[in-house]
């Protein structure tokens, strides 16, 4: 990486007066992910919690800690950003220490506060394409811009009416200058061209928003995370709808150049979506399509599927497995033909012990008990009768027949064995 001069502000001592992170719970200050960033020069994902940084070059499967120098680590981190370009600069910000920067991939850090009127920095973002341009928001002071990689800051704008929780710069077309700024606030998502010609509500989201990001391949696709749902706009923030699914309690969002969307949560987990928040997987590799940790958006989808599944079950399954999923009489003993009767799907059976992947395969392909005395399938195959979505719907309905503990156990089993990718 290119060497970068240490500016005069680097000689000052960063304050250590504590503080809290905007939008985060004080109960577990070191666990929640407050920000995610991406270093395109080495395809590295970086995550920040209030008290630590970590880097992954495997898409989130494995993480290595990044040390923060004593001058930069004495206050909670509130924001993280990485500049564009082949020699990226890493930035962190917090209410206690202002802005710190690293030009060597996070190995060493120096303060970068020249021109800032204080250290109460709660949000930070880099320009989408200009390596030297970075923006910092100070609560009650406004938005400051540096065009020399944090060497000096200049006040640009007071910001939107509400305090900014998260800030992101986008190169979405249509700006009179070089792009747009999207701000997550306590009321909604606000939007301004980066010429600072005025802030406006980005549509009518009207939800307190914790995080905001955009699709780097489709810049008009914008995401906003609220406490109970993830929202998506396909027209640059004019209109919003709930995403098909979302991890629970999202506190950070990131779009990467390959079109991936990453979400960090209050529990300290990172999830990834390759299909615009339609499905998610734990970045460590486990599927979360049916996890009990899904947020309200996907809970609503699951409820809708269960309603559809109940109707399908009544028409295609109840004649064998019972109207209420109670199974055939004497289901644990062979019938007079030497075949095993249909088992129950309610809490008295064992369906809840199987993962989503296995249940989907059983419905789609059928199954024959190896000890049956006939060659017929014990469970007939429905691949020619039911579409993938209908199979998922039936399984979603079966889950309503189980106890909360059984649903949780089955969700845990499904994390590593989710529905197939082709299933909705």
Task: Give the tens place of pLDDT for each residue, 340-376.
Answer: 888 999 988 889 989 999 899 999 999 887 777 788 8
pLDDT in the model for residue 413: 84
Contact at 8 Å (CB) between 102 and 45?
no
C-beta atoms surrounding 11 within 10 Å: 9
The yes-or-no verdict on residue 8 having pLDDT over 50 is no
Please give the mean pLDDT across all residues of the chain.
Answer: 84
Task: Render pLDDT for 58-93 as a digit per residue (tens, 0 to 9).
Answer: 888 889 999 887 666 578 999 999 999 999 999 999
CA 41 – CA 24 distance, rounded (Å): 30
Q: What pLDDT does 292 receive?
A: 34
Q: How many Å apart are CA 113 and CA 235, to the nearest integer?
A: 36
Strand ranges across the sheet with 261-265:
250-255, 261-265, 270-273, 281-282
Least confident of 7-11, 175-179, 305-309: 7-11
Question: Is the confidence at residue 155, as pLDDT, over 70?
Answer: yes
Q: Is the pTM of this model over 0.85?
A: no
Structure tokens that stand for 197 in this block? 């010609």
Q: What is the DSSP string of 48-83?
A: EETTEEEEESSTTSS-EEE---TTTSSS---EEEE-
pLDDT of 294 higher than 50: no
pLDDT bin (cut points 50, 70, 90) of residue 12 is: very low
Closest of 116, 132, 119 to residue 4, by C-alpha: 132
User: Which domains are delineated in the chain?
Assistant: 8-285 (2.130.10.10), 299-415 (1.10.760.10)
- What distance lies between CA 133 and its chain's CA centroid? 26
Confidence at residue 39, expressed as pLDDT on a 0 to 100 scale: 96
Counts for the chain of helices (H) and strands (E), in that order:
5, 24
């Amino acid at each position: 990486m290119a060497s970068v001069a240490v500016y005069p502000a680097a000689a000052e001592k960063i304050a250590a007066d504590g503080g809290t992170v905007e939008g985060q719970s004080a109960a577990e200050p070191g666990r929640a992910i407050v920000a995610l960033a991406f270093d395109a020069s080495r395809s590295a994902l970086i995550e920040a919690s209030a008290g630590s940084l970590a880097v992954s070059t495997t898409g989130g499967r494995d993480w290595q800690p990044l040390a923060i120098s004593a001058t930069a680590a004495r206050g909670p981190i509130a924001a993280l950003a990485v500049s564009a370009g082949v020699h990226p600069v890493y930035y962190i910000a917090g209410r206690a220490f202002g802005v710190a920067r690293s030009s060597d991939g996070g190995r060493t850090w120096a303060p970068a506060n020249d021109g800032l009127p204080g250290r109460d920095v709660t949000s930070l973002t880099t320009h989408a394409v200009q390596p030297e341009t970075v923006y910092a928001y100070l609560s009650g002071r406004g938005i400051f811009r540096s065009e020399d990689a944090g060497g000096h800051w200049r006040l640009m704008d007071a910001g939107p009416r509400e305090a900014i929780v998260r800030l992101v710069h986008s190169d979405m077309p249509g700006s009179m200058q070089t792009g747009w700024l999207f701000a997550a606030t306590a009321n909604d998502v606000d939007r301004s061209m980066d010429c600072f010609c005025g802030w406006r509500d980005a549509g009518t989201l009207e939800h307190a928003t914790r995080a905001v990001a955009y699709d780097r391949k489709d810049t008009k696709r914008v995401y906003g995370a609220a406490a109970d749902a993830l929202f998506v706009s396909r027209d640059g923030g004019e209109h919003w709808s709930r995403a098909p699914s979302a991890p629970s309690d999202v506190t950070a969002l990131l779009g990467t150049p390959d079109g991936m969307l990453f979400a960090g949560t209050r529990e300290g987990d990172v999830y990834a979506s390759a299909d615009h928040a339609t499905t998610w997987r734990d970045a460590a590799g486990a599927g979360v399509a049916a996890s009990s940790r899904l947020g309200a958006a996907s809970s609503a989808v699951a409820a809708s599927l269960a309603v559809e599944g109940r109707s399908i079950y009544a028409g295609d399954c109840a004649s064998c497995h019972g109207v209420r999923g109670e199974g055939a009489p004497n289901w644990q003993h062979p019938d007079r033909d030497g075949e095993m009767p249909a088992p129950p799907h309610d809490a008295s059976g064992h369906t809840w012990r199987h993962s989503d992947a296995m249940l989907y395969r059983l419905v789609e392909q059928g199954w024959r008990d190896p000890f049956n005395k006939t060659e017929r399938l014990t469970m007939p195959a429905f691949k020619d009768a039911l579409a993938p979505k209908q199979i998922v719907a039936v399984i979603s309905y079966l889950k309503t027949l189980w106890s909360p503990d059984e649903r949780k156990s089955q969700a845990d089993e499904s994390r590593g064995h989710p529905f197939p990718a082709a299933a909705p």
